């Protein structure tokens, strides 16, 4: 328990908490104060302080820090029942248990005391054993409440620190993503990291003047670890460490990724990946997908799914990743995305799904597909959490998807 920890070993929020019983008696009769002091002294170690003037009780409590207050009711300067309200309004005594110690066994007075916030009621003078037992019981409960609150505060501080680190990691990942692309191929994207940060990365770059590489990758799990693994895989693709013959060949790229990031060496993590190379001279797109959701090729109003050709990477050392081909026509659009775009929980406890995403892409205005998908899936996320999209609650807070939201659009001119 916390009492057995050295002060330096406690979390900061839990240091300097009371570890012994501190009794504050507020009673205008000095003889009663001395009697209670002697009764408590016979039953073991305990700090005791008596105040005969109730108007000084709060000030004394601020420095003495009692774990229980014994409060007389009938006093000339101020009624003890009114003192209960004073204690509840003071930061120093708001949570301290108040035991009414009075000479009357009056049911109505007792009910009034409890209604105002008293914790216990004793007719003075009780037997020393009973008095000390009540003191210890209420003091222990008070200390446990302080420790619980301090533990919650320490947890909040820890969560805030973790949240700040995750936000920094999300900003770092976002800073690495490629800027929009213009020219014979136009590219743009929308990325919304989830609250706990997933493992999504994506990108595109011209390998040479004729070949455009494009990819999306999703590492298993959430947190900084998967995010950093995704960044490492992205760096391998675009850093130039692979030979040109490799990056032009989707099969060899997936095999290189599989070899470099075996889950046995990376804390059990693996990833799905879709990698393609567009040749603007032949207008051929070659791709290989490892367990990743299909990309969507839009031609006119029709969508074609360019499916993965093998299972996810990093699980087995031997890895075959066949390459598929398709001819691109002028005006075609290609959409790469992660499963966070369509695996959304709906209000009927189902999953929104790939078919609905396909329908939404087909129905979206051609000049604002990305924003339309963000807007519509945001509504799905809100409704899945029981929040009306047009409500004040929806407007008040930022919406995070359950997983990273990554959607990339390529337009072929």
Contact between 22 and 47 under an 8 Å Cβ cutoff? The reply is: yes
The predicted structure's pLDDT at residue 336 = 97
Q: Select from 221, 241, 376 the least CA-distant residue to 312.
A: 221
Alpha helices in 42-180 (DSSP H): 57-64, 80-89, 107-116, 128-176
Contact between 244 and 206 under an 8 Å Cβ cutoff? The reply is: no
State yes or no: pLDDT of 2 exceeds 70.
no
Architecture of domain 2-153: 3-Layer(aba) Sandwich (3.40)
Strand partners, 407: 190, 337
pLDDT digits (tens, 9 = 90+) for 101-127: 888 888 999 999 999 999 899 998 888
C-alpha triplet 144, 149, 150: angle, nearest 5°? 95
Same fold, 2-153 and 178-412: no
The predicted structure's pLDDT at residue 276 = 97
Contact between 219 and 271 under an 8 Å Cβ cutoff? The reply is: yes
Domain ranges of the chain: 2-153, 178-412
More confident residue, 382 or 15: 382
pLDDT digits (tens, 9 = 90+) for 134-180: 888 998 889 888 888 888 887 777 767 766 776 777 777 888 889 99
Q: What is the DSSP letter of 294?
A: P
Contact between 277 and 285 under an 8 Å Cβ cutoff? The reply is: yes
Please name the residues in contact with 11: beta carbons below 8 A apart, sequence gap of 6 or more: 150, 151, 154
The predicted structure's pLDDT at residue 306 = 97
Alpha helices in 66-127 (DSSP H): 80-89, 107-116
Edge-to-edge strands, sheet with 211-219:
199-206, 211-219, 271-279, 284-290, 324-327
pLDDT digits (tens, 9 = 90+) for 374-383: 999 999 999 9
More confident residue, 28 or 223: 28
- Return contacts of 294-297, CB within 8 angstroms, 24+ apart: 294/354, 295/334, 295/335, 295/336, 295/337, 296/334, 296/335, 296/337, 296/358, 296/361, 297/326, 297/328, 297/332, 297/333, 297/334, 297/335
Contact between 287 and 324 under an 8 Å Cβ cutoff? The reply is: yes
The predicted structure's pLDDT at residue 146 = 86
pLDDT digits (tens, 9 = 90+) for 81-100: 999 999 999 888 999 999 99
Q: Which strand (E) or helix (H) includes residue 213?
A: strand 211-219
pLDDT digits (tens, 9 = 90+) for 204-222: 999 999 999 999 999 998 8
Instruction: Give CATH superfamily name and number for 178-412.
Output: PPM-type phosphatase domain (3.60.40.10)
The predicted structure's pLDDT at residue 391 = 84
Q: What pTM, to 2 d.p., does this model score?
A: 0.66
How far apart (Å, rounded) are the C-alpha atoms in residues 409 and 187?
6
More confident residue, 24 or 1: 24
How far apart (Å, rounded) are the C-alpha atoms in residues 316 and 393?
46
State yes or no: pLDDT of 3 exceeds 50.
no
How far apart (Å, rounded) are the C-alpha atoms in residues 410 and 333?
5
The percent of residues above 70 in pLDDT, for the chain, comes to 92
Q: Is-cis flag, bond preceding 125, omega within 30? A: yes
How far apart (Å, rounded) are the C-alpha atoms in residues 205 and 213?
5
Contact between 338 and 200 under an 8 Å Cβ cutoff? The reply is: yes
Confidence of residue 399 (pLDDT cuts 50, 70, 90): confident
Q: Coil, strand, or helix at residue 281?
A: coil
The predicted structure's pLDDT at residue 102 = 87
């Amino acid at each position: 328990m916390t009492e057995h920890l050295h002060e330096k070993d406690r979390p900061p929020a839990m240091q300097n908490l009371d570890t012994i019983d501190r009794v504050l008696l507020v009673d205008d009769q000095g003889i009663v104060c001395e009697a209670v002091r002697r009764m408590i002294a016979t039953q073991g170690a305990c700090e005791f302080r008596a105040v005969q003037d109730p108007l000084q009780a709060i000030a004394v409590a601020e420095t003495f820090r009692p774990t229980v207050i014994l409060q007389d009711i009938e006093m000339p300067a101020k009624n003890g029942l009114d003192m209960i309200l004073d204690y509840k309004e003071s930061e120093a005594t708001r949570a301290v248990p108040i035991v009414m110690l009075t000479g009357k066994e009056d049911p109505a007075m007792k009910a009034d005391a409890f209604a105002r916030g008293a914790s216990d009621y004793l007719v003075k003078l009780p037997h020393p054993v009973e008095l000390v037992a009540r003191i210890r019981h209420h003091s222990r409960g008070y200390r446990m409440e302080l420790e619980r609150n301090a533990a919650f505060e320490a947890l909040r501080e820890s969560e805030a620190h973790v949240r700040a680190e995750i936000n920094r990691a999300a900003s770092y990942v976002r800073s690495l993503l490629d800027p929009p692309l213009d020219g014979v191929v136009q590219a743009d994207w929308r990325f919304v990291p989830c609250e706990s940060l997933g493992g999504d990365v994506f990108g595109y770059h011209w390998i040479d003047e004729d070949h455009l590489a494009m990819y999306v990758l999703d590492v298993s799990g959430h947190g900084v670890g998967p995010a950093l693994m995704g960044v490492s895989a992205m760096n391998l693709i675009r850093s130039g460490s692979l030979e040109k013959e490799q990056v032009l060949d989707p099969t060899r790229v997936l095999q290189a990724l599989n070899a470099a990031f075996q889950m046995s060496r990376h804390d059990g993590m693996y990833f799905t990946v879709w990698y393609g190379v567009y040749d603007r001279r032949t207008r051929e797109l070659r791709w290989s997908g490892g367990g990743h959701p299909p990309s969507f090729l839009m031609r006119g109003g029709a969508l074609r799914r360019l499916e993965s050709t093998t299972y996810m990477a990093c699980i087995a050392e031997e890895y075959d990743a066949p390459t598929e081909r398709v001819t691109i026509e002028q005006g075609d659009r290609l959409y790469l995305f992660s499963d966070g775009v369509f695996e959304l929980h709906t209000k009927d406890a189902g999953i929104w799904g790939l078919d609905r995403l396909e329908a939404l892409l087909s129905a979206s205005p051609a000049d604002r597909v990305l924003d339309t998908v963000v807007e519509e899936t945001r509504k799905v996320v809100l409704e899945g959490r029981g929040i009306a999209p047009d409500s004040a609650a929806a407007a008040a807070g930022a919406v995070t998807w359950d997983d990273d939201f990554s959607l990339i659009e390529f337009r072929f001119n």
